[in-house]
Copies of this chain bind each other. A is one copy, B any other.
Amino acid sequence: MGQAGRVTTAPPLSPTPRSTVRRGATRARTDRAELYAVLDAGLVGHLAVVLDGAPLVLPTGYGRRGDTLYLHGSTGAASLRAAAGGARVCFTVTHVDGVVYARSAFHHSVNYRCAVVHGVLTPVTDPAERLLGLEALTEQLAPGSWSAARRPDRKELAATAVLALDLAEASVKVRTGPPGDDDADLDRSTWAGVLPLRTVPGEPEPCPLLPAGAQVPARVRNRVLRRLSPSA
């Protein structure tokens, strides 16, 4: 989503008590460009709401424009209805970048990038902004599809809630590198290191209803996933 051009001008993250990373504070990143990079590299985040006093966390797509994250859902979904009433939410995007094998069970870990956003969901009512939000959501999931596919019609728009989440209160944690084994374990013969993981696209599977010989467009065939954080 073009975050590279924003790296030098993005304001820093300004942590509040809630978005201050306490555990593993050395893994906290404070650059707003890191937040954008983690969000922009994802397909699905996890939205947590409180429903009847209990937490509920479900995966959902999203899109970003500047410092606004857009979510959407059916106007009939209970979780979104609850969240859209001004209740507080937490939205987390996580990339698992590798398994960290250590010489001790205790120091096994995961290399990851994780963005956590706290805020309230605001229903977007302005028709133009609703379309911009849906464009961001579509392009996050499937770059190029907003131009290629039919845009939402009146009926679809009526059935879709578009919700905005401000990125003001957010934190980013990143772990990279080898295991942090204890010195006393370094003589063990146990292998230690990182098994890097990445998400890769397979062969596109055309819809059975496509005409024979329909070409897979470059936006699908050449898609690249899981862009790394600029500072990774």
Checking B54, B91, B197, B205 against A178 with a beta-carbon cut-off of 8 angstroms, the contacting residue is B205
B193 near A210 (CB under 8 angstroms)?
A: yes
A50 CB-CB contact with B under 8 Å: yes
Checking B43, B116, B148, B192 against A190 with a beta-carbon cut-off of 8 angstroms, the contacting residue is B148
Indicate the size class of the contact surface on chain A.
Answer: 35 or more
Checking B90, B105, B202, B225 against A138 with a beta-carbon cut-off of 8 angstroms, the contacting residue is B105
CB distance from A40 to the nearest CB of B (A): 15
Residues of B within 8 A of A105 (CB): 134, 138, 145-146, 149-152
Q: Find the B residue at minimum CB distance from A89.
A: B55
11 A-B contacts (beta carbon < 8 Å) = A43-B96, A46-B92, A57-B90, A57-B92, A101-B149, A105-B138, A148-B190, A149-B188, A186-B209, A197-B200, A197-B201
Q: A105-B146, A194-B207 are in contact. List 15 more A-B contacts (CB 8 A).
A: A23-B74, A43-B110, A54-B88, A54-B90, A56-B118, A104-B149, A106-B152, A106-B153, A108-B145, A192-B207, A193-B210, A193-B220, A196-B201, A196-B205, A197-B225
